[in-house]
Structure 1
C-alpha cells in the first residue's frame, strides 16, 4: 500500500488557515485529487474528552504541559496510521500562560513525517479584526505586537521543524479579499 503525502498546515489563530484548506480541497476535488483534512487539535481534544480532562477545546492550551505533551503524542500516533494524502491542520506553536509550546515537537514530527510544512500568514491587523469578529471561540486577547511576535516565532519554529525532518517550508499569504490567491498557491503545492 502506498503512503500518501502528508502536509502540515499551520498559522496563528484567526489567520484563516482552515478557510484556505477547505477552499483548496474543493479545488483539488474538482481536479480528481483527494486529500483528507485532519485537525490536530480536534484529534487531541477527542483524546482529552475520552480521558475526561477537558469540557471544551479552548481549555486545552491551559492544561499542564506534561498533559499536553501526552495528548500531542497520542494524536500524532493516530494520524500517522493514515495512508492516504492528508492535510494536518494545526498550530506551529501554542501560546500558553507559561510561554510558547511547540505545536510539533520532535515526538510528533517523528510520528507524522511530513513532506512539507505550510505557514499561512497575513497582516497582524487583519488577524486582530478576524479574531474580534469570531464569536464562536473563546480566545485570549492579544494586540498587534503579540500577534506579530507569534507569527515571527512560528517562522523560527517551522525552520527548526524542517531541519529536524528534512521537509520543506512554504509561506502562503492569506490577505483580506485575496483568498483566491492563497488557494491557488496551496493547490499548486498540493498537486
Structure 2
C-alpha cells in the first residue's frame, strides 16, 4: 500500500504518522516512512546537481520537475515490496502563490491508495509554530493558515480525482494526539 500524508507546517503530521507506525509495528504491520524531499535530494546528489535542499530549490524548474518525477518513480518501486507512507506537502506556499506538492507527473508515478490530510484548528497551529524554536518559519496569521489548509484540501481532492485514491482528514487537536494516532492506525490497517 502507498499512502501520502500531508499537513501544513506545524500541524504535527510527522508526529501522528510516526506514532501510528510504531503502534502498527506492535501488531506486526510494517510501514516505511519516506520523506519526498529527502528522496529528491538523494537523486539530485547522485546526479551531481545539488548538495542540499537550498541548492535543490534553486535548480532550473525543468530539472526540478524531472527530479520530482524520478523521486515519485523511486518511491513507487519501493511500494511494490512494502507498505510506504510518503511524508510530503500537499501544497507549498511561495511568494508567487501555491505550488502543488504532487504535480501530475509525480502522481502518474506514485499512484497513491490513500491521501491523508492531518489538520488542526488554525489557532492551535499558530501557537505550535510560535513555541517551536527549532524551525525558522515565516509568520502566518490564523487566516493565512486557514487558507493554506483550504488549498491543501482542494489539492488533495484533485490528486484523488487523478489517481482514484481516497482522501481522509484526521484532526490533530491539542491534547488529543492519541485520538489522532488511533484514527491514523485505523486508516493504515489493512
Same fold (TM over 0.5): yes
Question: SS of 1:78's equivalent?
Answer: helix
Over aligned residue pairs, what C-alpha RMSD do you find? Answer: 1.9
**1:152 — aligned with what?**
150
Distance 1:184 1:177 in 2: 14
Give 1:26's match in structure 2, choosing from 22, 25, 28: 22
**1:39 to 2:39 alignment:** no
| Equivalent-residue separation in structure 1 for 2:126 and 2:58 (angstroms) | 21
Whole-Å separation in 2 of the counterparts to 1:53 and 1:66: 13
Q: Which runs of 5+ in 1 are unaligned?
A: none
Contact 2:41 2:51 (8 Å CA) reproduced: no
SS in 2 for 1:38: strand
> 1:80 aligns to what?
76
* Count of residue pairs the alignment pairs up: 187
User: Mind listing any 5+ residue stretches in structure 2 that lack a counterpart?
Assistant: none
Q: Kindly provide the CA deviation profile for residues 30-64 of structure 1, in whole angstroms up to 9, marking residues without a partner as x.
A: 11100011011111233334456555436655665
Q: Is the CA contact 1:61–1:96 (under 8 Å) kept in the aligned structure 2?
A: no
2: distance between equivalents of 1:107 and 1:184?
A: 33
The 5-angstrom pairing of residues 95-134 of structure 1 reads 95-134=93-132
Which moved further from structure 2: 72-81 or 127-136? 127-136
Runs of 4+ in 1 over 6 A off after TM superposition: none
